[in-house]
């Protein structure tokens, strides 16, 4: 089975103007995707985040699809999960999101959804890659596609988000700070929370094309922490640039990550008797989550990093709840893909129904000390083929035997090797992680 060259764990991503994120590549990608996903013609829905480069990639993809005989529906800046939903709602053959998620504005990316709002399989991505070296096709004039802009797309998605709240539960009485990372959710997230009755303070909701994820959002929650504490809010939520992940902040200004949010939702679903199948995390999920779920009698499984692999495992086991530490959560009883707004609403509904604060809801899940170090590389490394790395890895695992875990893996979206160590002893975790990272760093030279 051939590996994918361009597609990573979340589509194709890179620095704008450098391969593969060029206009010429986007044109070829659209043509190749059209031939694989809509070979007899059909329709595609395209959304994007707020990056300045989104305009040029939107135009290039539109041209490639129309030339290949595919009708194009443009929805403009909307969260990734909105594109998944609207693709299904408008019965399009597939959907496209132009976004580099939590990356800085100099980066961009392109990812696909199938007609049911799910991620493409590895096999389909390989089929698309197989056609990328061919020039773009142009069908006969009578078969050319058309392009239209869909009005009120945001309203449709907003209605979906609101509908995921339990009947009779509103957010009235809650004071919330919402940080939209100056990204794709900057309009719809505040509107959803306001419609549900919350008193909101928006930050990170003034995109200018260059400030997406810049000192704000789920990867930089410090501003949210200060604001929540400063205005004495009940909680805060921070989305990433494309709105498919969320981290929260309790009323004391402490961050609540994806593992903790997953526990809160799982615990409530389990108590209500609505949790089916195992909860699925990843190899990076905190060991405290696994132990807390075990105490409830809830089975827990780990998948490879990437929401696509969490989703595959959920489908294989009949589970409905899974996610990543980063806040990319899957509530398959509500949506088809990771959705930061919907995930946050599930937690806020639990707060309202139980009368407990977010701080109280997470007390039953201990978070073991966990250190993640990123080692930047100039080339791809096969870690299994480097004896020094494997020796250091074996030594680290032996040192933590029975008290922690070590994960060593290449990032699927950036030129990084991620070194993660966790355990009960914080000093041992730090020493082990730093020593292993140094071995990897030397191997990368």
The reply to whether 111 falls in a domain is yes
Which letter, b or e, does each residue of 401-421 get, where b requires 16 or more Cβ atoms within 10 Å of its Cβ?
Answer: eeebbbbbebbbbbbbbbbbb
pLDDT value, residue 2: 47
Render pLDDT for 39-97 as a digit per residue (tens, 0 to 9): 999 999 999 999 999 999 999 999 999 999 999 999 999 999 999 999 999 999 999 99
CB 372 within 8 A of CB 285: no
Same domain assignment for residues 177 and 237: yes
pLDDT value, residue 260: 98
206: annotated active-site residue? no
Same domain assignment for residues 335 and 231: yes
Same domain assignment for residues 353 and 222: yes
Same domain assignment for residues 81 and 222: no
**For residue 1, pLDDT beyond 50:** no
Same domain assignment for residues 341 and 199: yes
**For residue 3, pLDDT beyond 70:** no
The reply to whether 200 falls in a domain is yes
The reply to whether 231 falls in a domain is yes
- Residue 102 is part of a domain; what is its CATH number? 3.40.120.10
The reply to whether 6 falls in a domain is no
Same domain assignment for residues 334 and 378: no
CB 194 within 8 A of CB 377: no
Same domain assignment for residues 186 and 293: yes
Candidate list 31, 53, 101, 343, residue with the active-site label: 101
For residues 103 and 371, give the distance between their C-alpha atoms in angstroms, rounded to a whole number: 21
Residue indicated by tokens 């494309």: 242
The reply to whether 7 falls in a domain is no
Average pLDDT of the chain to the nearest whole number: 95
Structural domain of 196: 157-165+173-361
Tokens describing residue 266:
């799982």
The residue among 151, 183, 213 that closes a domain is: 151
Tokens describing residue 319:
């589970």
CB 120 within 8 A of CB 113: yes
Render pLDDT for 215-244 as a digit per residue (tens, 0 to 9): 999 999 999 999 999 999 999 999 999 999
The reply to whether 5 falls in a domain is no
Partners of 148 in beta bridges: 73
**For residue 274, pLDDT beyond 80:** yes
Tokens describing residue 435:
């020593």
The residue among 361, 394, 415 that closes a domain is: 361
The residue among 337, 361, 385 that closes a domain is: 361
Count of domains for the chain: 3
The reply to whether 395 falls in a domain is yes
The reply to whether 57 falls in a domain is yes
pLDDT value, residue 445: 82
β-strand pairing of 321-323 with 329-331: antiparallel
Same domain assignment for residues 337 and 394: no
CA atoms within 13 A on the CB side of 300: 24
């Amino acid at each position: 089975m051939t590996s994918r060259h361009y597609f990573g764990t979340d589509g194709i991503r890179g620095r704008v103007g450098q391969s593969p994120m060029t206009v010429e590549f986007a044109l070829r990608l659209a043509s190749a995707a059209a031939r694989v996903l809509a070979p007899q013609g059909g329709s595609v829905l395209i959304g994007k985040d707020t990056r300045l480069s989104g305009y040029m990639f939107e135009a290039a993809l539109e041209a490639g699809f129309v030339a290949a005989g595919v009708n194009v529906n443009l929805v403009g800046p909307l969260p990734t999960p909105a594109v998944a939903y609207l693709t299904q709602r408008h019965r399009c053959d597939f959907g496209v999101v132009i976004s580099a998620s939590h990356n800085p504005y100099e980066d961009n990316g392109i990812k696909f959804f199938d007609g049911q709002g799910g991620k493409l399989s590895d096999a389909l991505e390989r089929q698309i890659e197989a056609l990328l070296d061919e020039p773009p096709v142009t069908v006969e004039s009578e078969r050319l596609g058309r392009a239209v802009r869909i009005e009120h797309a945001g309203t449709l998605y907003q209605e979906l988000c609101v509908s995921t709240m339990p009947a009779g539960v509103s957010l009235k009485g809650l004071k919330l700070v919402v940080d939209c990372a100056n990204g794709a959710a900057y309009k719809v997230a505040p509107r959803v929370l306001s419609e549900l009755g919350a008193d909101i303070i928006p930050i990170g909701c003034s995109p200018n094309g260059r400030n997406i994820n810049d000192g704000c959002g789920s990867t930089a929650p410090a501003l949210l922490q200060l604001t929540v504490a400063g205005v004495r809010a009940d909680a805060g939520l921070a989305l990433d640039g494309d709105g498919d992940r969320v981290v929260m902040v309790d009323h004391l200004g402490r961050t609540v990550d994806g593992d903790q949010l997953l526990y809160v939702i799982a615990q409530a679903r389990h108590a209500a008797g609505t949790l089916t199948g195992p909860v699925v995390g990843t190899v990076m999920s905190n060991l405290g989550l696994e132990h807390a779920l075990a105490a409830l009698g809830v089975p827990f499984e780990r998948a490879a990093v990437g929401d696509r692999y969490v989703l595959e495992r959920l489908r294989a086991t009949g589970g409905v709840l899974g996610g990543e530490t980063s806040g990319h959560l899957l509530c398959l009883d509500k949506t088809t893909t990771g959705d930061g707004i919907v995930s946050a609403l599930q937690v806020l509904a639990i707060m309202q129904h139980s009368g407990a604060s977010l701080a109280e809801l997470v007390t039953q899940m201990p978070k073991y000390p966990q250190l993640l170090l990123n080692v930047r590389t100039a080339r791809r490394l096969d870690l299994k083929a480097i004896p020094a790395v494997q020796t250091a890895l074996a030594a680290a695992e032996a040192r933590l035997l029975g008290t922690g875990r070590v994960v060593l893996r290449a990032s699927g979206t950036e030129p990084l090797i991620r070194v993660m160590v966790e355990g009960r002893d914080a000093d041992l975790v730090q020493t082990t992680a730093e020593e292993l990272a140094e071995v990897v760093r030397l191997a990368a030279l």
